[in-house]
Amino acid sequence: MNTKSILVVDDEPSMRIALSESLESCGYKVETSESGADALEKFQEDKFEVVITDMRMPGMSGMEVLRGIKKVSSRMPVIVITAYGTVNTAVEAMKEGAADFIMKPFSVGHLESLVKKVVAEKDRKGEGGSGHDSKGCLSRKKTIITRDEAMLALLELLKGVSKSKSSVLIQGESGTGKELIARYIHRHSDRAKMPFVAVNCAAIPGNLLESEMFGHEKGAFTGASRRRLGKFELAAGGTLLLDEISEMDVQLQAKLLRVIQESEVDRLGSEAPVPVDVRIIATTNVDLKKYVEEKKFRDDLYYRLNVIPVRIPPLRERRDDIVFLCEYFLEKYSQLSGTTMPALSKKVEQMLENYRWPGNVRELENVIERAVLLSGGETILPEHLYLEGEKNGQPAVKLIASKDVTLKETEKRLIFETLEKVEGNKTRASEILGISVRTIRNKLNEYGKMVEVGG
Ligand SMILES: Nc1ncnc2c1ncn2[C@@H]1O[C@H](COP(=O)(O)OP(=O)(O)OP(=O)(O)O)[C@@H](O)[C@H]1O
Ligand SMILES: [Mg+2]
């Protein structure tokens, strides 16, 4: 089990409490500092897994904390917290080596996934396992809340087909609950007691994805200092979730197809294949059939995966669920923050029902979480909602190039401003901008050499 902690640096007591509570509920150990000076004094490389620091603090700033930590341990991931509207500071911090940034106000879920991602990236760079690989936050039971006829029928149907080993392809917009459904299938299968392992094909750069999935032997390539099991082997007997499968490059698609057909994997650099028994669930938020037509996705793999097709309707197509989910999240977040459960004003109810919900249930959860905080337990009013932007799926920002602003520069600003609008959520930004998450990642790399990807 992992014994390292997360160091949280923030001058505001309420933020320190909120951050440690949410991280602890994920199974992390947390230490806090109320100032940069105290943090640097406490800091020891082998004691901490990640450092999370606020940017604006009296005395030593978050930037100075970042520099101080990087001096002692260049590999220590540091996540910086910035205020809404100060994306420039975030960019500066990334240039100075911050692993990522999160913008206030943010949701607990977003922070959790960011920490998990950063820890996973660090592990991949050979820091040794952390114990949070497939457990931690994700293993907390999450219930599917719905009263929509179509969804209820789908859940009923899935209960039946869960038992087979057939591959499942779950299609649905971002935030519709694809991962939740994947876990539901696993839970209802005979494999429920075996591992459920997820790989996000969009978050991991192509060259690393192969060894991430199939593993490698010691010495398979420069830097492979020890043997590493791939996710296929880690999921043995259980279920492997291939998230955002559309982003996998075509060469790797061919290898994946072989593995599925033969039920055996070749670790990189290994002589003999290893048999594996794994149930595959793939998810995508693009129309994969169209990718097949455009030759961006292999048709043979598509048919292999699409044995049990599942389509989750977007939230705007299940109007009944909007208010139903609101009530559920109102209860959840008022309980978490210890306030009474606020009511929704009539106007707010209408606004929520008529909104397009491009980010689906995830967005709704974030909106309610923030509204509960802002309303302080009183009735939720329109000004607590922040439903701006993204009307009809248009980009949330308007930018016009002029003669002294280059296309590159405009592109960069558009990406950053969109990221800011969606609080750093790269999946949503990619949908608004109409580019893949992988492209956003590459662009961010290009702009600031922010995330060191692979050797
Ligand atoms: N029906 C639901 N009931 C309760 N919570 C839900 C429901 N659907 C989604 N959620 C919540 O919304 C968030 C997003 O769900 P999930 O991660 O499963 O979506 P996704 O489709 O995989 O999104 P992405 O495409 O961005 O990966 C999660 O926090 C999940 O718990
Ligand atoms: Mg998902």
Indicate whether 100 and 187 sit together in one domain: no
Nearest CA, atom 13, ligand 1: 362
Give the number of domains in the chain: 3
DSSP 233-289: HHTTTSEEEEETGGGS-HHHHHHHHHHHHHTEE--BT-SS-EE---EEEEEESS-HH
Residue ranges in the chain modelled with pLDDT below 70: 1-2, 84-85, 124-142, 388-406, 448-455
Q: Return the pLDDT at 454.
A: 29
- For residue 304, report the distance from its CA to the centre of ligand 2, in Å: 21
Nearest CA, atom 9, ligand 1: 177
Inside any domain, residue 138 = no
pTM of the full predicted structure? Answer: 0.62
Indicate whether 192 and 266 sit together in one domain: yes
Q: Domain boundary residue among 313, 345, 377?
A: 313
What are the CA-CA distances from residue 218 to residues 126, 224, 325 (Å)?
12, 5, 49
User: Which atom, in ligand 1's list, is nearest to the CA of 146?
Assistant: 1
Indicate whether 328 and 364 sit together in one domain: yes
Q: Return the pLDDT at 404.
A: 58
Nearest CA, atom 8, ligand 1: 177
Q: Return the pLDDT at 451.
A: 36
- For residue 229, report the distance from its CA to the centre of ligand 2, in Å: 23
Give me the CATH number covering residue 221.
3.40.50.300
Pocket of ligand 1 (CB under 6 A): 109, 142, 144-146, 172, 174-180, 285, 361-362, 365, 427
Domain that holds residue 196: 149-313
Indicate whether 299 and 363 sit together in one domain: no
Q: Return the pLDDT at 291.
A: 96
Inside any domain, residue 34 = yes
Indicate whether 84 and 162 sit together in one domain: no
- For residue 362, report the distance from its CA to the centre of ligand 1, in Å: 6
Indicate whether 25 and 40 sit together in one domain: yes
Indicate whether 166 and 293 sit together in one domain: yes
Nearest CA, atom 23, ligand 1: 175
Q: Return the pLDDT at 453.
A: 31
Nearest CA, atom 30, ligand 1: 177
Indicate whether 281 and 410 sit together in one domain: no
Indicate whether 165 and 287 sit together in one domain: yes
Inside any domain, residue 169 = yes
Inside any domain, residue 14 = yes
Q: Return the pLDDT at 268.
A: 86
Inside any domain, residue 452 = no
User: Which atom, in ligand 1's list, is nearest to the CA of 182?
Assistant: 18
Run of H or E including 455: none
Give me the CATH number covering residue 369.
1.10.8.60
Q: Of 305, 426, 298, nearest to 362 (Cα)?
A: 426
Is residue 281 within 8 Å of residue 242, measured between CB atoms? yes
